[in-house]
Homo-oligomer: A and B are copies of this chain.
């Protein structure tokens, strides 16, 4: 069984060097791991180094680094050669949400690593129980779902598939302490894991209200920014109920429950977005309109906000009894 006594000595592999993969690599490097970064798409190779470097600069600027950037970046090997993964204790797959592509990637990883390695997927759309059927050692396969930017959020979902040995999931949860995360552990592989499952319930309701002409997207976003956004980072949803005092609950529950959307059909607007290849702020086609300048301003604001909220959250650890 793995142990975490020398957690930093675990060599970590990352396969898939897109935005998410690079960001995860930055997180591993900042945590002190040596990282083998494999690009399944050769065209990602030239950009990957620069992307990771840029993220380390951001991490440095945010006070996450204790040594010069070069001493972190020197710990990553970027290549398209899977055989370099041979000494990795953990390999993270971060390729697109396509099961055939993932299968081909798992095969290559499995051929390269030792039987003791743990293989993890960053998927948020495909069940872990499905993916683990594609590897030779399903007990050692699990989900590790990161949020962007991986080096600057504490979010991490560790998910077991049906065949995962929970001891390996627990090992990852421990290791995640080194990565500065506040991981959740899902023993049963539910659709959407925790965060997407809960968020899609909001999306369903929000889109139903918008499609019905009851609410504008702008107003729904405003309500979330200034109501939920004023306590979410501190307490989450159930603690919030304890703050609200629970007394009006039954009246409100009984009135609202039967009105909530039960739609099982994905709203037309999402199909529309797919049809016109909308990538939101990334190509200035989305639910909202964007000029190139506005998209850039949003990107900048998000980068800055990430840093600000990361630092703010650090002042409110859990349990709150540790608060200054």
Which residues does A use to contact B, with CB under 8 Å? 97, 124-126, 147, 153-157, 181-182, 184-186, 188, 190-192, 194-206, 209-210, 214-215, 217, 219-239, 241-266, 270-271, 273-274, 278-282, 286-288, 290, 293-294, 297-298, 300-302, 304-306, 308-310, 312-313, 315-316, 318-321, 323
Check if A192 sits within 8 Å of B245, measured CB to CB.
no
**Contact for A155 among B223, B254, B286, B313, CB less than 8 A:** B223
30 A-B residue pairs with CB within 8 Å: A124-B252, A125-B255, A147-B230, A153-B226, A155-B227, A184-B222, A192-B259, A195-B228, A196-B252, A196-B256, A198-B223, A200-B260, A201-B260, A220-B237, A225-B233, A226-B313, A239-B287, A241-B287, A242-B281, A245-B281, A246-B270, A246-B279, A249-B273, A250-B266, A250-B270, A257-B265, A297-B321, A297-B323, A301-B323, A312-B312
Q: Which B residues are CB-close (under 8 A) to A182? A: 222, 225-226
Q: Which B residues are CB-close (under 8 A) to A243? A: 280-281, 298, 302
Please name the residue on chain B nearest to A217 by beta carbon.
Answer: B238
